[in-house]
């Protein structure tokens, strides 16, 4: 009796180990297989996920929404950062939501390690905009930089708005502004904080392109290598099941909804024309775009 149950126990344990290692291996493989674009190795690293309210969508009737996402109140979307290994540098685009968001986030550094990179190896972090799901992962709760050797890059427009004299910031945004400053402080105080102008070339074929609307200085980063392009589009899109088909749908929390729509249409049309890879913070896959009726069709790239 004892030995029978022991055998069963051992078998169950082995099966469990087998399944566990299979799952772990699957995740490891996913993180360590880069998308190769010219001389660039690109890794989509999922920091976590968040839930976006369907009621935040503007410019679409609820029946259409239901058809596309079902009869639900919120949609779960990933929060991605991207690791880019160039011949000379190791870069990140955005830094995730960190561990204190109250949601399942803060996995960026473990994802980085799976791609063979330690946080102190990151040279530069290109920030698309100052929202918590993009910058909170930069700094620990104790105010220590998670990436001690990285220089931050951010649009001057975005930076000037939030980093100006606190008294000149609208009162209802001051708490937010203070929090942003706290997150950025370890980088600012060690002179590792740079701003750039619209369309500035950041070197190594990297261009910072204005895509304003979601925030005041929201930026798309285009990397060009050996004739191929990959664009890190940040929050140009949040609801992939809705806003590719209906790109004129905006969000309640866009800084300027109509400007956000114009930016989305402009970059999506250009991405379709140039055949650029498109990598978004809240997209489940890296995609290429094709125009489709009044909207766009997103074609996922391999397992990315
Ligand atoms: Zn976001």
Q: Write the pLDDT tens digit of every residue in 268-300.
A: 999 999 999 999 999 999 999 999 988 999 999
Q: Who wins on pLDDT, 12 or 297?
A: 297
The pLDDT assigned to 20 comes to 34
pLDDT at 49 over 60: yes
Say how far residue 202 (Cα) sits from the centre of its chain. Answer: 19
Contact predicate 239/203, CB 8 Å: no
Query: Is the sign of the CA dihedral 133, 78, 258, 270 positive or negative?
Result: positive
Calculate how far, in angstroms, residue 185's C-alpha sits from the geometric centre of ligand 1.
21
Residues whose beta carbons lie less than 5 angstroms from ion ligand 1: 133, 235, 281
How confident is the prediction for the chain on average, in pLDDT?
90
Across the strands, what pairs with 210? 219
Distances, alpha carbon 212 to alpha carbons 48, 150, 298, 302, in Å: 25, 25, 22, 30
22: enclosing H helix or E strand:
helix 2-32
Structure tokens at 230: 């990959």
Give CA–CA dist 251/54, Å, rounded: 9
Q: What is the pLDDT of residue 252?
A: 96
Cα(284) to ligand 1 centroid in Å equals 13
pTM assigned to the model: 0.89
Q: How far is the CA of 278 from the centre of ligand 1 (A)?
A: 15
Ligand 1 centre and the CA of 16: distance in Å?
A: 36
Share of the chain above pLDDT 70, in %: 89
Tell me how far apart the alpha carbons of residues 34 and 43 are, in angstroms, rounded to a whole number.
Answer: 5
Q: For residue 125, how far is its CA from the centre of ligand 1 (angstroms)?
A: 16
Alpha carbon of 11 to ligand 1 centroid (Å)? 45
Give residues with Cβ within 8 angstroms of 268, minimum separation 6: 236, 244, 247, 278, 289, 296
Q: What is the CATH number of domain 34-300?
A: 3.60.15.10
| Å from CA of 13 to ligand 1 middle | 41
In terms of average pLDDT, the best of 21-25, 31-35, 102-106, 157-161 is 157-161
Instruction: Identify the DSSP state of 34.
Output: P
What pLDDT score was predicted for residue 151? 98
Could you tell me the distance, in angstroms and rounded to a whole number, from the CA of residue 196 to the centre of ligand 1? 21
Q: Is 177 helix (H, G, I), strand (E, B) or coil?
A: helix
Ligand 1 mean position, distance from CA 41 (Å): 23
Ligand 1 centre and the CA of 205: distance in Å?
A: 25
Distance 118 CA to ligand 1 centre (A): 24
Termini Cα distance of the chain: 50
> CA-to-CA distance for 187 and 124, rounded, in angstroms?
11
């Amino acid at each position: 009796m004892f030995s029978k149950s022991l055998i069963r126990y051992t078998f169950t344990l082995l099966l469990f180990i087998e399944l566990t290692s299979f799952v772990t291996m699957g995740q490891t493989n996913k993180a360590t297989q880069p998308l190769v674009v010219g001389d660039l190795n690109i890794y989509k690293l999922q920091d976590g996920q968040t839930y976006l309210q369907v009621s935040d969508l503007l410019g679409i009737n609820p029946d259409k929404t239901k058809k596309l996402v079902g009869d639900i109140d919120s949609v779960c979307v990933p929060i991605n950062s991207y690791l880019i290994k160039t011949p000379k540098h190791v870069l990140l685009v955005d830094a995730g939501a960190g561990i204190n968001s109250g949601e399942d986030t803060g996995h960026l550094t473990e994802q980085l390690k799976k791609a063979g990179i330690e946080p102190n190896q990151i040279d530069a972090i290109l920030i698309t905009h100052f929202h918590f799901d993009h910058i909170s992962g930069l700094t620990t709760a104790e105010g220590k930089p998670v990436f001690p050797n990285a220089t931050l890059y951010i649009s001057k427009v975005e930076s000037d708005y939030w980093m100006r004299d606190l008294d000149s910031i609208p009162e209802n945004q001051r708490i937010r502004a203070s929090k942003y400053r706290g997150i950025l402080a370890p980088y600012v105080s060690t002179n590792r904080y740079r701003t750039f102008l619209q369309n500035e070339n950041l070197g190594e074929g990297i261009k910072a392109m204005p895509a304003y609307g979601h925030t005041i200085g929201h930026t798309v980063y285009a990397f060009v290598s050996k004739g191929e392009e990959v664009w890190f589009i940040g929050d140009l899109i949040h609801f992939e099941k809705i806003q590719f088909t209906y790109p004129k749908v905006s969000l309640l929390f866009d800084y300027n909804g109509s400007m956000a729509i114009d930016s989305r249409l402009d970059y999506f049309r250009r991405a379709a024309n140039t055949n650029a890879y498109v990598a978004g913070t809240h997209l489940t896959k890296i995609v290429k775009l094709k125009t489709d009726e009044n909207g766009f069709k997103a074609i996922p790239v391999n397992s990315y």
